[in-house]
Amino acid sequence: MNYSLIIVEITAVLIGLGVLMTDLWISPTARKGLGYSAAVALGCLLAFATGSLAPQHGLGFRDSFVVDDLARFFKAFFLFGAIVVILMTVEFSSRIASGLSEFFALVIFALVGMLFAASANDLVLLFVSLELITVTFYILTSFQRNRLASLEAGVKYLILGAVASAFMVFGIALIFGSANSTNFRVIAAHQTELATSPVFLMGLLLVLAGLGFKIAAFPFQAWAPDVYQGSPAPATAFLAVGSKAAGFVLLIRLLTQAVPQITAEWSRLLVVMSAATIIYGSLCAIPQRNLKRLMGYSSIANAGYLLLGIVAMTRSGSTAMLFYLGGYFFTVLAAFTAMCALAEHVETDEIAGLAGLGRRSPFLAASLTLSLVSLAGIPPMVGFFGKVLLLRSVFESAPGHPDLYLLLGVAVIGVVISLYYYLGIIRSIYWGGNTPNLTPIRTSLGTKVALGTCIAGMVFLGIVPNGYLRIAETAVAGMESAVGGLKSPAVKKVSAH
Amino acid sequence: MDSLSSVILLPLLSAFLILLVPGNYRVIVRAIAVLGSGLTAWIAASLFFRFQPGHEGFQFESILPWISVGKLSLAYHVGADGLNIGLILVTGLVGFASVLVSWNIDRNPKLFYILLLLMIGGALGAFASLDLLFFYFFNELALVPTFILIGVWGRGENKTVAAFKITLYLTLGALIALAGLLLLHVSIGAQTFDVIALKTLLSGKPLSSTLQNWIFPLLLFGFGTLVGLFPFHSWAAEGYAAAPTAAAMMHSGILKKAGLYALLRVALPFLPDGAAHWLPVLAWLCLGNLLHCGWVALRQKDLNLLIGNSSLAHMGFAFLGIASLSVIGITGTVIVMVAHALLAALCFALSGYLESQSGTVDMTRLGGLLRRMPVFGTLMVMGFMAGCGLPGFANFAGEATVLFGSWKSLPWIVVAASWSGLILGAVYMLRALRSILYGEERKELAAVIDLGWWRRLPFALLIAALLLFGVAPSLLSRRIEPVAKEIVKAATNRSTPSRVAAVVVTP
C-alpha cells in the first residue's frame, strides 16, 4: 500500500478534525478566526498539492486510486473552491445560528470526498467518495435549522439523493455481476464483450443516472432549484462548484476512460440529455423572481453546456470542458460571495431586492454584474471563451452526425435565453423599480479579497487564457496517455459505425 | 507600442483610469474621458493620412501570439487596409464627439464614461482586428455597456423594453454569425482564425459549394441583424430613440458598421459560391430597408425615430453595393459606411442637443427654432441636407457610387433605390426641418439657448469630415479601390460559373 499517494486527502481529513477539536477549546467569538485559520491551512495544502513535492503519478490501492494530471487538476480546483467557500462562510456567519465550526469541518469533509472523487478509478471508490460528498451536503443544505426553507432543501436533497444513490449502487452491482470487476481499467479492457451484455448496459445506465443527479442534468435536475434556494449561500456555492465538478470528473473518467466505445454508441443519448438540460434550465429560469433559485436553474443550464464537451468525445472537447469548469468556478463563486455580502443588508433573496444596489455599493454591483456577464458568455469575461471552445469542439465532431448540429442550435438559443434572465438581474441592480433604501453597504476586507480574486480570475482567464488552457490540455492528454481512452474524431467515427 | 494598437488601447486604458478615480471627482473623470478619446481621434486621423493608398496588403500590422495549445493557435493580429482605415478614422472622430456631447451627464458620470469608452475601444478593436475571434470579442465588448447605458441614462417610457430588445437581437445575430464563423473555421480545417491564414488555406482547397451555401446565410443574416437588415431591423430605431445621445451616436454610427465590415471581410471573399447563391436574396432584402424603412421614417413624429429609420434606410444602400458585387459598388458601400457613420452621429447629436434644450423631440410640439438658435439651425440644415444626399457631402459621393456600380447587374433595384433614397429621404428630411426650425415660434420654447462656442466643437468636427470627404471623395476611394478589387476578384472566383457572375465580371 502506497500511502504517500493519498497524502493530500489525509492532510485534509486532519485539518477537518483539527477544526472540530480546536472548537472545543476556543471561545465562541473566536470562531471566525478559526475559519481564517482553516482557510490558511487549506491554502498551504493547495500550495503543496500543486507543487512538485506532491505525488505526481501513480496507481495504488489495487488500482482503485489513480493520481494523474487530471486528478491533480481537479484537486487544486476543489481545494481552491473550499478556501473561497470558507471565507464566504465567515462573511455569512451572522446568519448561521450555531455550529459555525462544524460548518467549516463539514465543508472540509465534503472537500475530502471531492479529492477522492478526482482520483477514483474504481466504481466502489466512486460510490464512496460521492456518498461522502452527498451525506455532508445533506447537513450543509439544512444547516440553518431555524429556517423552514433550509430544512425543506435538506429534506428534498436527502430524499432525491438517496434515490440517486440507490440507482447507482444497483447499477454498480449489475456492472460487477457482468464484468466481474468494478475497476475502470478492467472494464476498459473488456468493453467490447461487455458492450453486448444487456445487464452491463443497464448497470451503466443506472450509474449514469446517479452521476446525472450530481451534475443536475435532465431528467435528474428536479432537486436543484429548491435546494439552491433554501440552502445557506456558502453551501449553495459549494454545491454549484464542488459537487458539480466532482460529478463531471467522474463522468469524464467513466465515459471516456472506462467505456469510450459504448459512449460513442450512446452519443445520441448524451446529445438528447445535453439539449434537454440546456432547454429546461434556460426556459425555467425566465420566470424566476428569487436570485438563488434562478442560479439553480442557471446551474442546470450550465450542466447542459458542460455536457457538450462530453458529447464531442474528443480531446478538444474534454479540454474545453475543463476550461469552462475553471471559468464557471470563479464566476459562480464571485456571484455567491457577492450574495453573501448582500445577505446582511438586503432582507430578501428576491431579485427585486437588488434595486438600488448600483448606488448602494458600486463594487458589489459591478462584481455581480461581471459574474452574470461571464455566465452569459460575453467577452471579455472567461465565460465567452469557454463557450466558444465548447461550441468549436462540437463543430469539429459534427460532420457526419447531423444531430450535433441540432444540439448546436439548441445551445445558441439557450445562450440567448440565458442572456435575457441575466440582463433582468443587471437591470434590477442598476435601474430596478423603486429604491426605498439607499444606505451605502460596507464590505469587509475578506469579502473584498475573495471577490477581487474571483473577478481577477474571470478577467484574467478571459483575456489571457493560454496558460490555463495549456494546463487543461495537459490534464486531458495525461489521462489519455494513461489509458488511451480518447481517440481522434476520425478513429471514433470508424468505431461508431 | 505600434500606433494601431494604441488606438485600441487608449480608450480601454482611459476607462481603466476612470475606474480608479473616486466617483465624486467628476471633473477629473470627464477630463480623462475627453483627453483619452481626443487623443484616440488624433491618432486615428494621423493613421488615416499616413496610410499609403494604392498598396496591396495590410499596413500598420502587428501580431502578438495569444493562444497556442494543442491544435489551436490564435494571435492578436491587427492591421489596416483600405477597407477599415476609413472606419477607424470615423470611429475615432465619432467617439470623441460622443464624449463631448455627454458633458451634461449628471447621474453617475464615472460609470457612464467607463461604459462609453469601452464601446469606443471595442469598436476600434473590431475594425482593426484581422483575427476573426478577436473581431468577435471586441464587437461583443459593446453589448452590455449598450444595455446599461440605455437602461440607466436612456430616454422615454419604454427604455427598458428597448434595452432588452436591442441587446437580445444583437446577441442572437452575433451568435448566428459566430456559428457561421466556427463552421467556416472547422470546415477549412484551420487551427487559427486569422483572416490571412484562412484565405491562404482556402485558396489551396476551396470549400464545397453546398457547404458554402450553408455558411453564407449564417454570416449574412447573423451580421445582417447587427446592421439592421430588413426584416431583422425592428430593434434599431426603437433602441436608438431610447438610448442616451452618445450611445445612439456610437451605435447607429459605428457599431452597426461592424456587421457590414465582416460581410465584406469574410463572407464575400471566402465564400464565392455562397455569395452567388445568396446575394440575389440580399438585393431584394435591401429594398426592404430602402423602401420600408424609408416609408416608416416618413410617418414619424418623433425626431429620434425618424433619424433611426432613416439610418436603416441608408443601410439599404450599403447592402445594395454588396449585392452588386462590382468594384464600383463595393467601393461605394465602404464610402457609404464612412459617410453614414458621420451623418448618423451628427443627426443624433443634433437631436440630443435639441432635446436637452426643448425637453422634447416630438416634432408636432416644436417649431420656429431657427430664430432662437441660428447656429444650431444652420448645423441642422447642413446635416439633414447631407442626409438627403446633397452633393458636396460625403453621403452623395457614396450613394451615387453605389448606384453607378449596381446599375449593370441590378437595374430595377437601382431605380427603386434611387426613388426611395433620394425622394423619400428628401421628403422626410425637409419636413422635419420645416416643422422644427421654421413656422411659428412657440411660447413654451422661449427658453432655448443656442450652442455655445465650446459646444459647437463636436458638430463642427463631424460636419467638417462630411464636407471633406464630400468634396474630395478620392481621399477614400483611392484607399478603398485596391481592396474592393481584391474582394470582387475573390468573390467571383467560383467553382461553378453561372449567368450572374458573367454579367458582374467586367474588368
Long-range contact list for A198-201, CB < 8 A, 24+ apart?
Answer: A199/A174, A200/A174, A200/A175, A201/A262
Q: Give me the residues of A, 286-325, that contact B with CB < 8 A.
A: 315-316, 319
**Of B31-40, B159-168, B451-460, the least confident:** B451-460
A349 neighbors A396 (Cβ within 8 angstroms): no
**Residue A423 pLDDT more than 50?**
yes
Cross-chain Cβ contact A316/B70 below 8 Å: yes
The answer to whether residue B422 neighbours chain A at the CB level (below 8 Å) is: no
Buried-state track B2-26, b at ≥16 Cβ within 10 A, e below 16? eebbebbbbbbbbbebbeebeeeeb
> What confidence score (pLDDT) does residue A446 get?
77
Measured between CB atoms, which of A362, A408, A423 is closest to B179? A408
Helix H, strand E, coil C: the string for B408-452 is CCCHHHHHHHHHHHHHHHHHHHHHHHHHHHCCCCCHHHCCCCCCC
User: The complex's ipTM?
Assistant: 0.88
- In the block, cell 454508441 appears at A265
**Residue B4 pLDDT more than 50?**
yes
Task: Please provide the DSSP assignment of A445-478 as one string.
Answer: HHHHHHHHHHHHHHHHHHH--HHHHHHHHHHHHH
Residue of B nearest to A431 (CA): B152
The predicted-structure confidence for A253-300, as pLDDT tens digits, reads as follows 888 888 888 888 888 899 999 999 999 999 999 998 889 899 999 999
> What confidence score (pLDDT) does residue B454 get?
81
**Of A431-445, B119-133, B488-502, the least confident:** B488-502
Cross-chain Cβ contact B175/A431 below 8 Å: no
Name the minimum distance, in Å, from the CA of A388 to any CA of chain B: 9
The predicted-structure confidence for B161-207, as pLDDT tens digits, reads as follows 899 999 999 999 999 999 999 999 888 888 888 888 888 888 888 88
Work out whether strand B72-80 and strand B59-69 pair parallel, antiparallel, or are unpaired: antiparallel
Torsions phi, psi for A350 (to 5 deg): -70, 150
> What confidence score (pLDDT) does residue A131 get?
93
Rounded Cα distance between B425 and B444, Å, is: 30
pTM: 0.90
B461 neighbors B97 (Cβ within 8 angstroms): yes
Strand partners of residue B194: B131
Burial class of residue B205 in the structure, from the number of CB atoms within 10 Å of its CB (0-12 exposed, 13-18 middle, 19+ buried): exposed
**Residue A133 pLDDT more than 60?**
yes
Percent of chain B predicted with pLDDT > 90: 31
Confidence band, pLDDT 50/70/90 cuts, at residue B497: low
Cross-chain Cβ contact A473/B70 below 8 Å: yes
Cross-chain Cβ contact A419/B171 below 8 Å: yes
Percent of chain A predicted with pLDDT > 90: 43
Mean pLDDT of all residues in chain A?
87
Rounded Cα distance between B247 and B115, Å, is: 9
Candidates B12, B18, B69, B178: best to mutate against A (most CBs of A within 10 A) is B69
Average pLDDT over residues A476-495: 52
Percent of chain A predicted with pLDDT > 70: 95
Q: Give me the residues of A, 439-478, that contact B with CB < 8 A.
A: 464-466, 469-470, 473
Name the minimum distance, in Å, from the CA of A414 to any CA of chain B: 10
List the Cα angle A227/A232/A237 in 5-degree steps.
Answer: 75
Rounded Cα distance between A225 and A290, Å, is: 10
Name the minimum distance, in Å, from the CA of B277 to any CA of chain A: 22
Name the minimum distance, in Å, from the CA of B72 to any CA of chain A: 9
**Of A417-421, B218-222, B363-367, the least confident:** B363-367
**Residue B42 pLDDT more than 90?**
yes
Which residues of A are less than 8 Å from B172 in CB distance? 416
Measured between CB atoms, which of A391, A399, A469 is closest to B69? A469
**Residue A160 pLDDT more than 50?**
yes
Output the nine-digit C-alpha cell for B392: 458636396
Cross-chain Cβ contact B186/A392 below 8 Å: yes
B228 neighbors B236 (Cβ within 8 angstroms): yes
**Of B113-127, B202-216, B353-367, B438-452, the least confident:** B438-452
The predicted-structure confidence for B417-435, as pLDDT tens digits, reads as follows 777 777 888 888 888 888 8
**C-alpha closest to that of A431 among B143, B162, B120:** B162
Q: How many Cβ atoms sit within 10 Å of the Cβ of residue B444? A: 11
Average pLDDT over residues A25-37: 86
Secondary structure (3-state) at B68: strand
Confidence band, pLDDT 50/70/90 cuts, at residue A480: low
Confidence band, pLDDT 50/70/90 cuts, at residue A497: very low
> What confidence score (pLDDT) does residue B1 get?
58
**Of A223-232, A425-434, A477-486, the least confident:** A477-486
A35 neighbors A89 (Cβ within 8 angstroms): yes
> What confidence score (pLDDT) does residue A435 get?
66
**Residue A317 pLDDT more than 60?**
yes
Counted residue by residue, chain B has a size of 507
Name the minimum distance, in Å, from the CA of A400 to any CA of chain B: 12
> What confidence score (pLDDT) does residue A368 get?
92
Rounded Cα distance between A227 and A293, Å, is: 8
The more confident residue out of A83 and A346 is A83
A416 neighbors B174 (Cβ within 8 angstroms): no
Range of the domain at B13: 3-504
> What confidence score (pLDDT) does residue A206 get?
94
The predicted-structure confidence for B318-349, as pLDDT tens digits, reads as follows 998 998 888 899 999 999 999 999 999 999 99
Taking one residue from A and the other from B, the number of pairs with CB-CB distance under 8 angstroms is 88
The more confident residue out of B232 and A112 is A112
Average pLDDT over residues A446-470: 88
The predicted-structure confidence for B97-107, as pLDDT tens digits, reads as follows 999 998 878 88
Confidence band, pLDDT 50/70/90 cuts, at residue B502: very low
> What confidence score (pLDDT) does residue A485 get?
44
- Computed on alpha carbons and rounded to an integer, the radius of gyration of chain B in Å comes to 22
The predicted-structure confidence for B341-354, as pLDDT tens digits, reads as follows 999 999 999 999 88
Average pLDDT over residues B463-480: 90
> What confidence score (pLDDT) does residue A1 get?
66
> What confidence score (pLDDT) does residue A92 get?
82
**Residue B405 pLDDT more than 90?**
no
> What confidence score (pLDDT) does residue B12 get?
93
The more confident residue out of B132 and B413 is B132
Which residues of A are less than 8 Å from B111 in CB distance? 358, 362
Name the minimum distance, in Å, from the CA of A346 to any CA of chain B: 22
